[in-house]
Amino acid sequence: MKNIKYQIAVAVVCLVLGIMVSIQFRTVKQGVGPVSEYRARELAAQLKKVREENVKLQNLKNDYESKIKEFEDTASQGSAYAKILKDELDQARIMAGIEDVEGPGITVVVDDLKFSEKVNYPLISYSMLLELLNELNAAGAEAVSINGQRIISTTEIRQIGGIHININTVSFAPPFIFKAIGDPKTLEAALRLREGIAERLENSGVAVTITQEQLIRIPKYNGVIERKYAKVVKEGESQ
Amino acid sequence: MNRKAYIYYLFILAAIIGFIVTVQLKSNITYQGIITIPKLLDLQNEISNVEMENKQLMESISEQAMRLVEYKTSVEKTGNAYGTMQNELEKARNYADYYTVQGPGIIMTLNDSQQELAEGEDIAWYLVHDIDILEIVNELRVAGAEAISINGERVTATTNIRCGGPTINIDGKRHAAPFIIRAIGDPKALEASALAPDSYIELYMEYTGIQVEIQKVEKLIINGYDNTEKMKYLRKAEGGEAS
């Protein structure tokens, strides 16, 4: 029977076609489809350029910083008054988050590890980081940074889309590394509380690693603090 | 059906397969298949990150250049740098939230829901929680708030907000509803962020009937942070680069 032969042939061809189409679709859907190498090279070149610029700017900034430091240090040796002034200045800058600080504390690494390969939604939300930060503060953290971004009073933690979260307007993907200065034991215990933040994060598939440290260093806030609207009310001024 | 029809079908199918195979092969030559879309996005993300950092660096450099000029003129004019240091101190204390500030902004009042409880519902649903305030404060920061207070307590970098039974502790001090959040910044931006359809208030608070009132104000006053407790663990880092 020739008809059956033809039908089988058509069926086989359709099967092959179907498989090809579905493979194609899957590749595109997973977002691992190949893209033009040209575009990638272009981006790599651009990245190199901005990184070079970054190094130059960083050096320039360090120059200025050391010059200012020199001025302040020399001035503070001038008199007892100047010394007190300088101490107060350091103290205020530490509180404002515009001075590098160090002390004992903990490092907390919050990561989605390999879970992200299995689930295609972001495991770590900004709310988790917000709550973790709040817990650290409640446990007496004196200074905190996330991925090197010093937390100051205007720091925002904002989901940007997908797995990216902005901190001080800089975008980060997991892992999120918290550094907090304070009593290491108290800080860890507060996070490890039963049904506390660490347990809740772990239950939703997020890996939390806490390390107590004798000495950690937290950098100062990198940006420029702007006070365009909020003006200082001088004492005795009418309200 | 006659045989000819089958032959036509086969011919068309063969043509389609041939076309697809050719396209596939051709793409494999142009596309190396090593660079994937996520990698490309990572690259793009990295670039915009560094660009953002560069912008911040430039701003901070120009700020420091100005400071240096101030120091130099101060030393030239008065023979010492006290004046500039005093100014620097004022500025740092302001950034550390020690000073009372005033400016335009919004006043937001949050009150527990007055809705009747349906059977089996938990009263907790209808109360303002620590998380709610935490999220709202974060959104105000996103909208550019420069100073924030909750029931008169200035919100600083280390402020913590926690439920403690029927009250909410802000930096360990008890506060009960209504919660009055004051924020200084661009009133329009602050209000818009609170009222946006995807804002925390709209998404999680409106439907439980928690009462939210937002008022734009030309001038409001936010008290300075008055806790001068000494830091026990923190000290200025000496020399070297922070990691």
Give A155-194 pLDDT, tens digit per residue: 999 998 778 899 998 888 889 999 999 999 999 999 999 8
Report phi then psi at A73, rounded to 5.
-65, -45
**pLDDT category of residue B160 using cuts at 50, 70 and 90:** very high
Residue A103, beta-bridge partner list:
A216
Residue A105 clears pLDDT 90, i.e. is over it: yes
Q: How far apart are CA A33 and CA A19, in angstroms?
A: 17
Which chain A residues contact residue B235 at CB under 8 A? 101-103
pLDDT at B122: 73
How much of chain A, in percent, has pLDDT values that exceed 90?
54
Residue that has been written with the tokens 């893209």 in this structure: A35
Residue B173, beta-bridge partner list:
B170
Which residues lie below 8 Å from residue B200, measured CB to CB, with a gap of 6+? B132, B135, B136, B139
pTM: 0.79
pLDDT digits (tens, 9 = 90+) for A7-49: 888 888 888 888 887 877 666 555 444 556 778 888 889 999 9
Distance between B107 CA and the closest CA of chain A, angstroms: 14
What residue ranges in chain A does DSSP mark as E strands? 101-111, 143-146, 149-150, 157-161, 164-167, 170-172, 176-181, 207-218, 231-232
Which residues lie below 8 Å from residue A76, measured CB to CB, with a gap of 6+? A82, A83, A85, A86
Residue B71 clears pLDDT 90, i.e. is over it: no
Instruction: Assess: ipTM above 0.85.
Output: no
What residue ranges in B114-226 does DSSP mark as E strands? 147-150, 153-154, 161-164, 167-170, 173-175, 179-184, 211-222
B161: helix, strand or coil: strand
pLDDT at B224: 93
Residue of higher predicted confidence among B68 and A106: A106
Structure tokens at A126: 């900004």
Nearest to A57 among B24, B61, B81 (CB): B61
User: How many CB atoms lie under 10 A from the CB of residue B192?
Assistant: 12
**pLDDT category of residue A115 using cuts at 50, 70 and 90:** low
Residue of higher predicted confidence among A203 and B21: A203
Report phi then psi at A32, rounded to 5.
-105, 15
Q: Is B243 on the interface with A (CB under 8 A)?
A: yes
- Range from B45-49, B65-69, B213-217 that averages highest in pLDDT: B213-217
Averaged pLDDT of chain A: 87
**pLDDT category of residue A90 using cuts at 50, 70 and 90:** very high
Mean local confidence (pLDDT), B204-211: 78
A137 to B17: CB separation less than 8 angstroms, yes or no: no
Chain A with chain B: Cβ pairs closer than 8 A: 293
